[in-house]
């Protein structure tokens, strides 16, 4: 399955948010995020490394938005501020 350019952009913003959370020490890194939400880290790394053919699960975006105050609008559209 090939992921659209829009879908790939959403995936990029998702991982940009993870990187910000890690750099400001809200989380230690990707492992902290995956452990906290019972996500298979290999699956998430595959999405990061192959955004053109791997699907970002909606619940992963949900976790970023509800637990870490990342803007859902920003993840989906790229408009506005990343943080609420």
Helices 58-68, 5-23: axis angle to 10 degrees equals: 30
Residue at 69 is within a domain = yes
CA distance 8 to 22: 21
Q: What is the pLDDT of residue 64?
A: 95
Q: Considering the domain boundaries, does residue 27 fall inside one?
A: yes
Tens-place pLDDT, residues 5-64: 999 999 999 999 999 999 999 999 999 999 999 999 999 999 999 999 999 999 999 999
| Beta bridge pairs of residue 83 | 70
Domain that includes residue 69, residue range: 5-77
Residue 63: CB atoms within 10 A of its CB come to: 17
Instruction: State yes or no: pLDDT of 1 exceeds 80.
Output: no
Is residue 83 in some structural domain? no
pLDDT (tens digit, 9 = 90+) per residue, 58-82?
999 999 999 999 999 999 999 999 9
pTM for this model (two decimals):
0.93
Q: How many domains does the chain have?
A: 1
């Amino acid at each position: 399955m090939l992921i659209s350019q829009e879908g790939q952009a959403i995936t990029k913003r998702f991982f940009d948010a993870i990187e910000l959370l890690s750099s400001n020490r809200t989380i230690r890194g990707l492992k902290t995020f995956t452990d906290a939400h019972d996500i298979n880290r290999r699956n998430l790394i595959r999405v990061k490394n192959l955004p053109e053919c791997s699907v970002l699960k909606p619940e992963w975006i949900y976790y970023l938005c509800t637990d870490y105050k990342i803007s859902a609008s920003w993840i989906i559209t790229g408009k506005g501020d990343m943080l609420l």
